[in-house]
Amino acid sequence: MSGIQVEGLSKTYRRGLAGERVHALVDVSLTIAPGEAFGIIGPNGAGKTTFLGCLLGLLRPDAGRITIDGHAPDDLAIRAVTGYLPERLVLDRWMTGREFLAYHHALAGQPAAGRREEVEGALERVGLGGEAGQRAIRRYSRGMLQRLGLAQAMLGQPRYLFLDEPASGVDPAGVVLFRRLLSELRQKGVTVILNSHQLDQVERVCDRVAFVKAGRVEAIETVAAGAAHARVLRVRAADAAIGTRVTREQLAALAVSAGAALTGIDPPEARFTVADDAGAARLLQTLIGAGVPVAEATPEESRLERLFLDAPTDARTKGSA
Amino acid sequence: MNLTLVTTLWRQRLTSPVRMAILAMLSLMPLLGVAFMPGAGLALLGGAQGLILTLGAGMIGQDLSSGVLQLLFARRLRRPEYVVSRWLGVGAAAAVISLLQLAIACALLAGRGAVPTAQDILMFGGGRVLESFGGAAVLAFFSSLIGGFGDLGIYLLVNLGAGIVQMAGQVKQWLWLARAGAEISAALTPTIDLVRLVTVTPMPWYPIVSYASTVVLCLALAIVVVNRRELSYASG
């Protein structure tokens, strides 16, 4: 069976002198299809990194089963097709970036014949070609380390890529680069498992997103491009028109005629619920057509942000994972 | 054995100025003794413990505490292969330096007209090589237990404890206790007295069995400990 299957996964840690049990994962079951980009989001200590650790075979679950392409996650056949970028990236600081990639290329069991070209290619792809690749890792900035980490994870053309907060500490140009690289990998059919707090990135990259809280998967949402999502649009009008020249009733009527709904006004702003991006465009067109001097329109929050914010706040009781 | 891991360990050791300075000191000081007191022969070179400790300290613990192991074990690498490669890397490096030191010592002695016999050289060199791999196995086990350079601390504590036990046995005239202390101390840097092995008949099997069992046991324990380790900062 191809893809990743997780059935009834549970993991506890023992913490403190008394060996108190902390539930990091509780009966997690899900399936990730081959070639899918799957996001994992959740508050700190929700169990996201523990989940990734179990998927990678670095942590032993107390109960449940994980298979990747029908194999155990620590099977060497799976390791050969796996790339991993940990959140707390620690690299061999005495090496140069180039040496580090050559080292991991060898550890990945890749043939020595094409090593130089593949390493150079990987460095170029993450923007560390030339002098940067020759620099000792201890002289790298946080963003450069993340880039090198991603290059390392992509070595050997993995079929499964596990990324734990890949854009952490990366500048905006790096974030765009990461997104482009992930998009390229997806086009090649690589299955991407992305754990990130940057919800907009997750929403842009992933097909589905699991919201993890207190060790449980609270929801799995489809966020693929084109999927219909209701969203809140905040519209600000110039000249303090909303609430004075344009009344609540007029705005409500205009919203209904555009297939949207007015949810409230807080001059000079009004909030509308729209079905999707097309609905938002229709609403704005209607408002402008009716003479409302629209100065700014902002989506109030993404679906994932709402998922985050709407979730009850009684997260796990103890510890963190 | 994974040659990539072995060579990377050597390169990492070579880039550490502190280790290199200590190694230079440990290698050159005995040679000065040999140069100025040729009558004492090869005995002035002493044992290989210093070299093993300098090259081996933190051989697994450093990777453990830095978090590098997470990345390594996500690769196509068996954990026993990692432990064995670490052991071989440290053992081979200590053995090569020991043999180099021996070669220089022989040259110095030859210059003073006190060249040792081929058998002496062979016995001494063989003992040093066995000691290098034996000591590296013990250190690999200690290093698997604790992060950073904690293995050095364990080594020194056990050595100190063994010395106290041995002394207590001698003071109280409890031979069994003194022997226990001596065995613990010897187990820290296992080797075989090759001179005694080839001169005594019948050949004593105890030193061979003791050496082999200590090395195998330490490596097996190190592999078990590393195999059981959970590698994620979430587990810490």
Instruction: Give the residue among A224, A321, A233 at the shortest CA–CA distance from A277.
Output: A233
| Residue A104 confidence (pLDDT) | 93
Largest CA distance in chain B: 64
pLDDT > 90? residue A242: no
pLDDT > 60? residue A319: no
- Global pTM reads 0.81
* CB neighbour list of residue A129: distance below 8 Å, 6 or more residues apart: A120, A123
Tell me the average pLDDT across B109-123: 85
Q: Give the residue, A15 or A316, on which the prediction is more confident.
A: A15
pLDDT > 60? residue A160: yes
Nearest CA in chain B to A152: B71
Query: Which residues of chain B lie closer than 8 angstroms to A152, CB-CB?
Result: 71
Instruction: Give the residue among B71, B145, B179, B153 at the shortest CA–CA distance from A149.
Output: B71
Nearest CA in chain A to B8: A103
| Residue A318 confidence (pLDDT) | 38
Tell me the average pLDDT across A252-276: 88
pLDDT band at A320 (very low <50, low <70, confident <90, very high): very low
Judge contact between A148 and A97, C-beta under 8 A: yes
- Using CA atoms, how far residue B143 sits from A93, B130, B133, in Å, is 20, 20, 15
pLDDT > 80? residue B131: yes
Report the C-alpha gap between B226 and B60 in whole angstroms.
9
Q: Both tokens of residue A74?
A: 């620590």
> What ipTM was assigned to the predicted interfaces of this complex?
0.83
pLDDT band at A229 (very low <50, low <70, confident <90, very high): low
| Residue A83 confidence (pLDDT) | 93
Query: Looking at the partner chain, which of A13, A49, A79 has a beta carbon nearest the beta carbon of B76?
Result: A79
Judge contact between A38 and A195, C-beta under 8 A: no
| Residue A72 confidence (pLDDT) | 93
* Segment among A17-26, A156-165, B169-178 with least mean pLDDT: A17-26
The DSSP bridge partners found for residue A193 are: A38, A162
Which residue matches tokens 């062979």? B122
Q: What's chain A's average pLDDT?
A: 85
Chain B CB within 8 Å of residue A130 CB: no
Q: What's chain B's average pLDDT?
A: 90
Q: Residues 51..70 of B with a Cβ closer than 8 Å to A: which?
A: 66-68, 70
| Residue B108 confidence (pLDDT) | 87
pLDDT > 80? residue A228: no
Concatenate the DSSP letters of all residues of B66-131 into one string: HTHHHHHHTSS--HHHHHHHHHHHHHHHHHHHHHHHHHHHHHHHHHTT-PPPHHHHHHHHHHHHHH
Q: Is B114 exposed, middle or buried (0-12, 13-18, 19+ CB in 10 A)?
A: middle
Q: Do A107 and B76 touch (CB under 8 A)?
A: yes
pLDDT > 60? residue A217: yes
pLDDT > 90? residue A243: no
Q: What is the pLDDT of residues A117-128, one digit of tens each?
A: 999 999 999 988
Q: What is the pLDDT of residues B76-112, one digit of tens each?
A: 999 999 999 999 999 999 999 999 999 999 888 888 7
Report the C-alpha gap between B139 and B187 in whole angstroms.
11
Report the C-alpha gap between B174 and A28 in whole angstroms.
60
pLDDT > 60? residue A22: yes
Nearest CA in chain A to B81: A107
Report the C-alpha gap between B157 and B134 in whole angstroms.
18
Torsion, Cα B69 B71 B77 B83, to 10 degrees, reads -10
Percentage with pLDDT > 70 across chain A:
91
Q: Is B122 exposed, middle or buried (0-12, 13-18, 19+ CB in 10 A)?
A: middle
Measured in degrees and rounded to the nearest 5, phi and psi for residue A109 equal 75, 20
Q: Do B71 and A24 touch (CB under 8 A)?
A: no
| Residue A314 confidence (pLDDT) | 46
Query: Looking at the partner chain, which of B76, B77, B230 has a beta carbon nearest the beta carbon of A58?
Result: B230
Query: Looking at the partner chain, which of A13, A90, A107 has a beta carbon nearest the beta carbon of B75?
Result: A107
pLDDT band at B205 (very low <50, low <70, confident <90, very high): confident
Q: What is the pLDDT of residues A143-155, one digit of tens each?
A: 889 999 999 999 9
The DSSP bridge partners found for residue A71 are: A68
| Residue A316 confidence (pLDDT) | 40
Chain A CB within 8 Å of residue B114 CB: no
Q: From the candidates A92, A99, A104, A119, which should be mutated to test the interface with B, based on the most B CB atoms within 10 A?
A: A92
| Residue A317 confidence (pLDDT) | 36
| Residue A218 confidence (pLDDT) | 87
Q: Do A53 and B234 touch (CB under 8 A)?
A: yes
Judge contact between A85 and A150, C-beta under 8 A: yes
Q: What is the pLDDT of residues B2-18, one digit of tens each?
A: 899 999 999 999 988 99
Instruction: Give the residue among A116, A129, A189, A183 at the shortest CA–CA distance from A155.
Output: A116
| Residue B112 confidence (pLDDT) | 79
Judge contact between B90 and B139, C-beta under 8 A: yes
| Residue B236 confidence (pLDDT) | 57
Report the C-alpha gap between A11 and A58 in whole angstroms.
12
Which residue matches tokens 């053995």? B95
Q: Cis link prior to A268 (omega < 30° from 0)?
A: yes
